[in-house]
Amino acid sequence: MCGIVGYSGPNNSVGPILEGLTRLEYRGYDSAGICLKLEGELEIIKKEGKLDNLKTLISEKNPFSSIGIGHTRWATHGGVTTDNAHPHGNEIFAVVHNGIIENASVLKKELIEQGYKFRSQTDSEVFLVLLTKFYSETSDTLKSISRAFKTIVGNSAFVIMEKASDKLYCLKRSAPLVVGENDETAEAYVSSDPFALVGYAPKLYFPQDSVICESVVQNNKVSIHFYELDLTESNRYKTQSNVMTIDATSKGPYEHFMLKEIHEQSSLIDKLGAYYLKGEGRKKLDELKNFKTPTWHFAACGTAWHAGLVIKNYFEQINRQRVSIEIASEFRYKNPILNKDEIGLFISQSGETADTLACQELCEEQGLKSFSIVNVEGSTLFRNADKNFLIHAGVEIGVASTKAFTLQALTGYLMSQSINSNLDEPRLMSEIQLLSHRIAEICSHSEVLIKEIATKIYLHKGFIFTGRGKYFPIALEGALKLKEIAYVHAEGYAAGELKHGPIALIDESIVNIAIVGPELFEKTISNIEEVKARRGIIVVVGPKDNEELKQVADFYIGLDFEGLQDLSPLYVNVVLQFLSYHIAKLKGTDIDKPRNLAKSVTVE
């Protein structure tokens, strides 16, 4: 969602801010803006639409400013207009905001009654006006920030610059925020994502909630100060070196990041297997045996929730342990039955998904231990968890999650094997290598066939993905992927559930992508026959060289399940990733940045 980048230092802020915002484009946005200090005045340049629109405006002016804040907005309050784009500013302050001010309408009404004027429909401008009001009463920036922040309700991150100084201020509540420092070049940075600062700021600071951070660049030196809201000094922040690399920003030979990320899966699987079975991760997995829980509580959103469903199967089938899994936005408000001796497991690529973080907080408040399966080291989820299981997927740029799903599920599988003390069994590494090998085969051979099938079905009205048992989560994930990137109606169903309603939809305009595993084979075939009898188009993804499947299918993608056992859902899923990709490509959609979607959903 919204991206924030700020800079203060001896050089022109425009370059690093625009580069940072470009790197954050993948997160999704609909307008962009920047505030610079030109001849001592705060000057805001902003524009609805793509970042390129802003870049064009800036290049016409060719400005130099040693301090600046930039923002890409994903609209929540107020439509997609230039006025609603950030920064919001006046002659004293400029502000960028990520999040939602829940009491904005009440506050706005009060402020208007007091004579304050608003230029936008955003909740964010309320913070600017509050700041200005408190500054008129105190003439003190820190006090004004603190008072404004205490007045608002909701989860947000703010970065503030002012006309009176070259300081950058920022603070947040349950929203991502990172401050960067480069001592050698005497530059200070701030962002909503460390990825924007890679190559600029070797040292990162992660302030905790309600800590005001003030970055000062003076006499060729950077100093970062932290304050509590009562303005006493604070030590509630973490420091970390920026270990990320920027090679992820290149698509290499691939047309889209999504395609690149699908292809990366095979080697990432090998690496993750080695990390957890033989490398540094082994200790982490071994420690799992020290934790006992009568019930696991999983919470996650979207694709991460589907990965959770796969992992639930592992924990139940391999470990015979109880797992309750909920969509995070449901879990947080359902007053879940939680006990202190239980463990919450939160699954997330970004580690910044607002609903998932809220579930983590809820579990911690109730005394549960909190574990994460997460990609972004240093993310909020990561920092707040008692124990983290990193998936080491590297940066995932495609909004549609692919490699993160596979590595989340694989991490869960290894956790489950660790609970059963199986990590030293040689078959485990072989299984992982086999999965990697089979996925590589799909990438090099089957992709052509999948692409061909896509050309035959992409104009159909609707798609129903079906699967049973361990393939049911894959049916859900396959349908989600197709909806997201091809903008076509798709649903995932348990194959046996079709006749309880959705079969009414079936006619020749509907495609059934039927996942058939070696297990429950005959029963799944019967489900396919039911669809076929109603003229539905059948695409079977199932065991290769099977005559029965060839008979029943209009299109048949034969796979080699031999030896994969529990990991076969991850294998099948790659076929569906390719299928969605090729359908979307034929439809000409914006595959890496699908409409209306954000990579990291930092508001609820």
3-state secondary structure of 73: strand
Smallest distance from the beta carbon of 478 to ligand AGP, in angstroms?
11
Nearer to ligand AGP, 328 or 553 (CB): 328
Nearest alpha-carbon partner for 122 in 150, 158, 146, 92: 158
Q: Does 350 bind ligand AGP (CB under 6 A)?
A: yes
Smallest distance from the beta carbon of 593 to ligand AGP, in angstroms?
11
Which residue from 122, 234, 356, 466 is in contact with ligand AGP, where contact means CB under 6 A?
Answer: 356
Cross-strand bridge partners of residue 156: 99, 173
Strands of the sheet containing 510-515, edge to edge, are 489-494, 462-467, 510-515, 537-543, 555-559
Q: Does 132 bind ligand AGP (CB under 6 A)?
A: no
The pattern of x and - marking residues 371 through 410 that bind ligand AGP according to CB under 6 A reads ----------------------------xxx---------
The string of DSSP letters for 210-227 reads T-EEEEEEETTEEEEEEE
Helix axes 124-138, 141-151, angle to 10 degrees: 140
Nearer to ligand AGP, 356 or 360 (CB): 356
| Rounded CA separation 120/127 (Å) | 12
- Choose the binding region for ligand AGP from 94-102, 158-166, 299-307, 578-586 (rule: CB under 6 A): 299-307
| Rounded CA separation 380/177 (Å) | 9
Which residue from 51, 272, 601, 603 is in contact with ligand AGP, where contact means CB under 6 A?
Answer: 601
Q: Does 484 bind ligand AGP (CB under 6 A)?
A: yes
28-47 binders of ligand AGP (CB under 6 A): none
Smallest distance from the beta carbon of 350 to ligand AGP, in angstroms?
3
Q: Does 311 bind ligand AGP (CB under 6 A)?
A: no
Q: Does 567 bind ligand AGP (CB under 6 A)?
A: no
Nearest alpha-carbon partner for 467 in 494, 506, 500: 494
Is the CB of residue 527 less than 8 Å from the CB of residue 540? no
Cis peptide before 253 (omega within 30 of 0): no
Nearer to ligand AGP, 214 or 484 (CB): 484
User: Catalytic site residues?
Assistant: 2, 599
Strands of the sheet containing 3-8, edge to edge, are 41-48, 31-38, 67-73, 3-8, 187-191, 178-182, 203-207, 237-241
Nearer to ligand AGP, 3 or 543 (CB): 3
Nearer to ligand AGP, 168 or 259 (CB): 259
| Rounded CA separation 469/521 (Å) | 11
Smallest distance from the beta carbon of 484 to ligand AGP, in angstroms?
6
3-state secondary structure of 229: coil
The pattern of x and - marking residues 49 through 68 that bind ligand AGP according to CB under 6 A reads --------------------
Q: Does 266 bind ligand AGP (CB under 6 A)?
A: no
Q: Does 600 bind ligand AGP (CB under 6 A)?
A: yes
Closest residue to bound ligand AGP by CB: 302
| Rounded CA separation 54/49 (Å) | 8
Which residue from 191, 192, 303, 580 is in contact with ligand AGP, where contact means CB under 6 A?
Answer: 303
Residue ranges that bind ligand AGP, judged by CB under 6 A:
301-304, 348-350, 353, 356, 399-401, 484, 597, 600-601
